[in-house]
Amino acid sequence: MLMPYHVQPTLYMLVPAKMKRMNVHRILVETILKHDLMRMMLVWLLWEINLCDFSRGERTDFEAAAEPECNSAETNFYSNNGDDTLGYSKVDHKRSSMDGWNLTSQKLIDSFPLDPIRQNYVRQVRECIFSAVQPTPFKSAVTLVAVSKEVVEDLLDLDVSITETQEFIQFVSGARVLPGMISLAHRYGGHQFGVWSGQLGDGRAHLLGVYVNRRGTRWELQLKGSGKTPYSRDGDGRAVLRSSVREFLCSEALNYLGVPTSRAASLVLSNDDVKRDQFYNGNVKNEKGAIVLRVAKSWFRFGSLEILAYSGEIELLRKLVDFVIEQYFPLINATSSNKYLEFFSQVVTDTSYLIAHWMSVGFAHGVCNTDNFSILSITIDYGPFGFMDYYDPNFVPNTSDDEGRYKIGNQANIGRYNLDKLQKALNPLLDPMQQLLTEQILKGYPDLYQTKFLELFKAKLGLSGLDNNDGYLVAYLLKLMEDTQADFTMTFRQLSEITKQHLKVNNISEEYWALQDLAKHEKFLDWINLYLLRLKRNAADSDEARIIRMQSVNPRYILRNWMAESAIKKSERNDFSEVHLLQKILRHPFTKQTEAEGAGYSSRPPPWAKDLRVSCSS
């Protein structure tokens, strides 16, 4: 099974017998009724919890692809409240100049104490959320490798022509400070590979400021690879070209796949030498430095809360969580005594949905540490990620992960582990009864995840309505795929392209190469018969409608490792053509494209793809 959850008795059990979503308030009611002394709380507790019984993840499948704001999958997940005092969101058009286009960190600075030490050197920092520190420009000239027109124009209100100016290139490479801009490095901690690592923080990232666009949406702009900060530890504060190309492409690719994610506005390359031991084997090489301008609603993560709880800075912890609730969770009553409980409930739900979405496209994050998990449940901190080629629940994209802790088949369990650490970080803000209730909320995580997982995979198979055997049908297919090492993406895609009649008579032509691999299994026809029988139970559904529906959720193109590697190798020779081609193709992953077919992006991966290795070094 793609994602066996550890509480399940068998490896291939996808979902519990009940297919309905577990409501958080039902869990709490059952808990409360077991305790006489708690019954009096039932009425007000249900009132408070129902305020947050919505879910930002509970839209129709891949609905985000049809939403405004650059088709951002996260656009309507969070509050669009802007800071009216900023003034610059009044523009109702794309700017043709950066004059008057300003960023500010003032709300963050006013809300939290800043690190009192302004010198930029590595140290342990306490009693603050941010340190004020400027990016370090490259010494050599920089080249603009790529920009996301959609991010620049639709999120940041800038005409894409601006990206050709030196003014813009200097800004996105950390060499230009806009009027009033105070850049910040965020202090956070985290559990890394299951061990508390203490202070971590933005060791090579600078938050340039907040921009509220013409739609009133708040975006935080951050440079990655922009130099040392107090949190750099033993690092040099830089990022190299190979990892930056991967982050730029994948953050945009996931967005167009409908997966909540941070965005990438630009990628610049320098000739500065950055020394890296890519595979930690003593082979140190000089690589080219690069910077990505990243955009997200917020960069707060689980570790933002953990560092404060571990350091005993409880009032600052309370101030941070209150800020997060007020700024990003508008449906939670900020004056409620139960607001932290509601906040945790929402993060549990959204985290489960995020990981289910990762699984639906075969994406493995690679380093699911608590410092890499967003409080807003978006995909952040792209490192040694990977999309599966052939189906393998033990797929580990990170060669640094010797024990396979973050293999794709363990991501849901790791989500549960990380949420447990978040719950512990919140405990100082909760009374004993609320602590008990957060434990009950967390127990609902498996059902939330499994229900969303099944919903997404039913859509991938074109199944509508309810059927108690749908979980079995999905699990059966995944087992066949595992046994035959059938390609994950193209198996589902080709099922969405082939007709039922061709399946019925087992007429599978060479163009359906992934299905041909699957058909080698002795149980293939048994599964096909079950599948066709289930499709008949789709109410008033034609084969043409099924095909259209399935192709809208099953991508033909994903950012496979071999594609990224090919683009990186060319970029190292200052040939950015494949970066641009991939960027173009991945904007429309569900649509068959002539250029993509010519490049082999939907063909069987080349043999050398199996030997690719990606590490934490970046």
Tell me how far CA of residue 226 lies from CA of 170, 175, 204, 235, 452, in angstroms.
12, 9, 6, 12, 38
Residue 339 contacts residue 332 (beta carbons within 8 Å): yes
What is the rounded distance in angstroms from the CA atom of residue 172 to the CA atom of residue 28? 48
Of 190, 222, 188, 192, nearest in space to 206 by CA: 222
User: What sign does the dihedral 365-366-369-371 (CA atoms) show?
Assistant: negative
Give the side-chain half-sphere CA count within 13 A for 544.
0
Q: List, in sequence order, every beta strand (DSSP E) within 75-200.
A: 130-132, 142-147, 184-186, 189-192, 195-199
Residue 209 contacts residue 221 (beta carbons within 8 Å): yes
Which SS3 state, helix, strand or coil, does residue 561 take?
helix
User: Annotated catalytic residue: which of 115, 154, 371, 517?
Assistant: 371
What is the rounded distance in angstroms from the CA atom of residue 191 to the CA atom of residue 26? 31
What is the rounded distance in angstroms from the CA atom of residue 346 to the CA atom of residue 54? 8
User: Under 8 Å CB-to-CB from 33, ≥6 apart: which residues?
Assistant: 39, 42
Angle between helices 339-360 and 42-50 (to 10 degrees): 50
550: buried, middle or exposed (CB in 10 Å: 19+, 13-18, 0-12)? buried
What's the helix, strand, coil split of the chain in %, to 5?
45, 15, 45
* CA angle (195, 201, 204) in 5-degree steps: 120
- In the residue annotation, 157 being an active-site residue is answered as no
Which residues participate in catalysis according to the annotation?
A: 371
